[in-house]
Amino acid sequence: MPQNEYVERWQKQNGKRYDYEERKRKRLAREGHKQSQDAQKLTGLRAKLYQKKRRAEKIQMKKQIRTHEQRNVKSSEPNQPSATPIPQYLLDRSQASHAKALSSAIKNKRAEKAAKFSVPLPKVRGIAEDEMFKVVKTGKKTAKKGWKRMITKPTFGRSLVDPMLSILHFPSNLRPPVGNDFTRRPVKYERFIRPMGLRYKKANVTHPELGVTVQLPIISVKKNPQNPMYTQLGVLTKGTIIEVNVSELGLVTAGGKIVWGRWAQITNNCENDGCINAVLLV
Amino acid sequence: MATILPPPSKKQKTADIKRAQEQQDIDYIPDNLGNVRIQFHDAATGAVTGPPVSVPVSDATTKNIELILNTLLGNDKSERLPYRFALRLGNKADEKNVLDITSDIYRLVLKTGLKTTEDVLGLEYTPQAVFRVRAVSRCSASISGHGEAILATQFSPRSSSRMVSGSGDSTARIWDCDTGTPMHTLKGHTSWVLAVSWSPDDMIIATGSMDNTVRLWEAKSGKPLGNQMKGHTKWITALAWEPYHLQTVGNPRLASASKDATVRIWDVTLRKIDATLSGHKGSVSCVKWGGTGCIYTASQDKTVKIWNAKDGTLVHTLNAHAHWVNHLALSTDFVLRTGYFDHTGQVPEPAEAKVKKAKERFEKAATVGGDIVERLVTASDDFTMYLWEPQKSTKPLSRMVGHQKQVNHVSFSPDGLYIASASFDNHVKLWNARDGKFIHTLRGHVAPVYQCAFAADSRLLVSSSKDTTLKVWDVRTGKLHTDLPGHKDEVYAVDWSPDGKTVGSGGKDKAVRLWKH
């Protein structure tokens, strides 16, 4: 038996008082009187608490009344299943894709070059290297030298370049991050460590004009405004431009081809939030 | 911006390599095979034409056979007709055993061992359209005017110079397609205009709307013919006019299908309900008025019903589909829509002559093997289509499978030989209307295909899609003929004018576009 259920237990064993129902009815009947007395007589903190509770109750009540009223109203207008006109053959189809079917009317506005870099977040806080990187001092030799760095910010979890190619063509300190399908070389060859726990592959992308948010896979990091090296490392900070895969939204170009990648800008401090929120650049 | 074809699959690539490695035997017809005897039959009536003709095998190509047939029929050199030939292999009743002769007799018949030079080959011939529709290739006009998306379009049966479009701004508009300018605005509805239909005599336009009413308009002046016609309790989904040859002169009738599961037949002159066809249990998605006095309705209750147009009684219920029936098409749709207007542009004068001509045209189009046959194809949400011949049987002739999503729209070619189906799986498929055999998949659209329309000569097909393009397809080869980008958003409605000169389309971008050669 849980604690505090002594009344229930007593009732189970002995039954209810013979006048239980009657007393309950009377108490309910006097409820209004009790409430009005409380409203008038209570003072101080109790009055405040009481009024707060009463206000919340009234709001609920009014809402309920309104919904009841709406149910009874008979409108003469035929209720249109959707705000935008659609042809007869699409009328009874579920508009499940509605939220996703971002209108392709709003698109390709960024064709002109001038508009290309007018982004929602034009300025971001600078992040110094000592905030971005933690010096790793483990082991006998690395402790002495201290050249190894761990990135303290979220990063994108995929390589853009073939790992072998990147080893061949880039000096080790500028090498793009490796993909997660890549067998790592010995740790001592890597100068930058991107912790697995801070890697992201998906972003919650909002379409600014339709106010729809969809989770989409990230394709690449296009530009980190802090430092070109961060772009190469795939660091995701507030203001970073990323390319997201919008193919499932079904956007098409004027020529009738499917739009695949589309740029978006990160709007939150992802290292604090544990998720990536971005806004689509249209 | 051309559509890029998908890269060849591994199967195709290996086949190509194999073909490149092997030595091809050259396509030539040996000239020592002697003669083959050919007996011509008229496919429509089944009558024998002329005596059997002996033709050298090396010369027995369709071109030459066509020439012989023209001579046999006594056609002048100036009025030679193109013919389509088919070889009947089995007995008469067997519909399936027919082989289309597309190139030459040696390769198709003799080499494959179907017949030998000893046999007399019975060739059935069907005349092809004597005129040729040229593929539309450019946008001749983009006319703005509608305030909302365009939901339906139709061309006038008389010519390609008038088109009507129904829109979400609760108006319909008549356009002058020669100059690309608006003619009249048909104001009156209080909600979206979902269906527009031009009467077969080109005089009246009927519009059906979201506001549950049907309105009639004078096609010439755009003036309303009386008030709204009330009766339905839900929106109108489709409209169908009584075929011209069945109308009592000056007193046409109109059928309207509605979401409220009924079809109402309206007396257009008295503007009252003639009959109400109730029996469906779900929204009626499509209605067609056949030339043999039947009304065909497709519904979301998975059935197709056939009604007697005279007294509104139920004749048959066709049950086969497993999900909503979205659309249906008749093999005679084109002649019923155009009535007495044909490609020559000559209109007979007195009303009796008009009825006679309309009847003649209908019978010519519907006659197969000597009797009048009206075929029906229904498209459904269960990804299949069925081909029916309701006069003969309530069992389907064939089931057409292959689409991978809902089939939204079907249409018969004007000559009644092909069926095109548009589906949400981004493909258009072509089928043989004789036996429902699959012919081609027309790939190219990258989003659901909404509608398709045949050219008057059945050689071309245009399809409209959510991917903002129209595409013109060559029916014979099954290849993309022309890609028509230009719309800024989904294309909801498309129609090819009965004389083949213009394609009209409209969609979510609110502009009517006209496409010409």
Q: What is the DSSP string of B289-319?
A: E-TTSEEEEEETTSEEEEEETTT--EEEEEE
- List Cβ<8 Å contacts ≥24 apart for B469-474: B469/A255, B469/A256, B469/B3, B469/B445, B470/B494, B470/B503, B470/B505, B470/B515, B471/B3, B471/B442, B471/B444, B471/B445, B472/B135, B472/B136, B472/B137, B473/B428, B473/B442
Containing H/E element for A134? strand A133-136
Residues A85, B237: C-beta atoms closer than 8 Å: no
B389, burial (CB in 10 Å: exposed 0-12, middle 13-18, buried 19+):
middle
The interaxial angle of helices A31-41 and A20-29, nearest 10 deg, is 50
* Calpha distance B334→B337 (Å, rounded): 5
Residue of chain B whose alpha carbon sits nearest to that of A86: B151
Residues A256, B191: C-beta atoms closer than 8 Å: no
Q: Which A residues 74-113 touch B at CB under 8 Å?
A: 77-78, 80, 84-89, 91-92, 103-105
Residues B212, A78: C-beta atoms closer than 8 Å: yes
Residues of B in contact with A84 (CB under 8 A): 148-149, 168, 508
Per-residue pLDDT of chain A (282 residues; tens, 9 = 90+): 678 889 999 999 999 999 999 999 999 999 999 999 999 999 999 999 999 999 999 999 999 998 888 776 655 455 566 678 888 888 877 654 443 344 443 444 333 344 445 677 877 888 888 888 888 776 676 566 677 788 899 988 754 444 554 555 555 555 555 555 555 556 656 678 888 888 898 999 998 877 788 899 998 888 888 888 888 888 999 999 999 988 877 777 777 777 888 899 999 999 898 899 999 887
Residues B168, A104: C-beta atoms closer than 8 Å: no
* Calpha distance A147→A145 (Å, rounded): 6
CA distance B319 to chain A (A): 21
Amino acid identity for residue B407 in this structure = V
CA distance B402 to chain A (A): 21
**Residue of B1, B168, B211 with shortest CB distance to A78:** B211
Q: How many cross-chain Cβ pairs, A to B, lie less than 8 Å apart?
A: 96
Amino acid identity for residue B351 in this structure = A
**8 A C-beta contact, residue B412 and residue B330:** yes
* Calpha distance B36→B49 (Å, rounded): 17
Tell me the Ramachandran region of residue B145: left when phi exceeds 0, alpha when psi lies from -120 to 50, beta otherwise: left
DSSP state of A73: P
Radius of gyration of chain A (CA): 31
- State residue A36's pLDDT score: 94
Residue B387 has pLDDT above 90, yes or no: yes
Residues recorded for chain A: 282
CA distance B327 to chain A (A): 9
CA distance B499 to chain A (A): 26
* Calpha distance A155→A136 (Å, rounded): 18
Contacts of B192 (CB under 8 A, 6+ apart): A80, A85, B148, B151, B166, B167, B168, B170, B209, B210
Tell me, yes or no, if the pTM score tops 0.95: no
In the block, which residue shows the tokens 């483990």? A138
Q: Which A residues 241-260 touch B at CB under 8 Å?
A: 250, 252-258
**8 A C-beta contact, residue B347 and residue B326:** no
Residues of B in contact with A257 (CB under 8 A): 1, 3-4, 446, 467
Cα dihedral B228, B231, B237, B239 sign: negative
Percent helix, percent strand, percent coil in chain A, to nearest 5: 40, 20, 45
Containing H/E element for B402? none
- State residue B127's pLDDT score: 80
